[in-house]
Structure 1
């Protein structure tokens, strides 16, 4: 378990009632484990990952899969094609199940690393 967890986010998860709860937690662990400088907070009524700005937030109402919105994902290099969307700014990463997360975990860590590098 990562040492950069926020008790406010832990409390949010205690109240979170969603069939994807375990998978959301697993995505959380991958992101927090990718770099100890990444922290988390509850913003927009959902867990949000932060490092010198808002990196990504969960869509907590998604029940078919886990959706993680990268606030400025359009600016991040995404060689694996993990991010979906065509908007000018944000992009979304979707995770269908634990196997899908396992397959995409390295790409997710790469996005975290690219974000940190872009923030100097």
Structure 2
């Protein structure tokens, strides 16, 4: 798999991280898991970076990796039996490949639980990430166009 070559903006998300970048914190989070979960989180991260080289990496909510572009795209959470990728606005995204398999009951989020030994449909995952970015960008554009001009 090709490694993303574009520079990614890194932002700090908490006062206690010192001089450690969010990307370094995500590296550390991945290295906490020397099994399939760390490998899966690393692979998901590479796919997100390939889908959107301008992605912003953050760490929020006690160490949860977050990927953003004009708003949150998705998060990467590690559990005992799954690595969960939660798309913040997943309910608004088309999922023709049927990747979403978790958090299906809500009106906003959707998630993908990856389990040990499962293959990731890379092209479908990349398409979801790109669709999430496009949705974030369209929401930002729509919000700007709805602002009323100031009267003079």
TM-score range, shorter chain: 0.7 to 0.9
Distance 1:37 1:77 in 2: 22
Gap runs ≥5 in structure 1: none
The residue aligned with 2:80 is: 63
Q: TM-score, normalised by structure 1?
A: 0.83
TM-score (norm: length of structure 2): 0.67
How far apart are 1:66 and its partner, in Å? Answer: 1.5
Alignment of 1:30-69 (within 5 A): 30-44=47-61, 45-60=63-78, 62-69=79-86
Instruction: State the alpha-carbon separation in 2 of the partners of residues 46 and 94 from structure 1.
Output: 15
Post-superposition CA distance 1:44-76 (Å, at most 9, x none): 12111111111111122x121211111111011
Cα RMSD (Å): 2.0
Higher Cα radius of gyration: 2
- State the shift of 1:98 in Å: 5.9
Q: How many residues align?
A: 116
The answer to whether the aligner puts 1:17 opposite 2:36 as a matched pair is no
Displacement after TM superposition at 1:100 (Å): 1.3
Greater RCO (Cα-Cα under 8 Å, separation 6 or more): 1
Runs of 4 or more off by more than 6 Å in structure 1? Answer: none
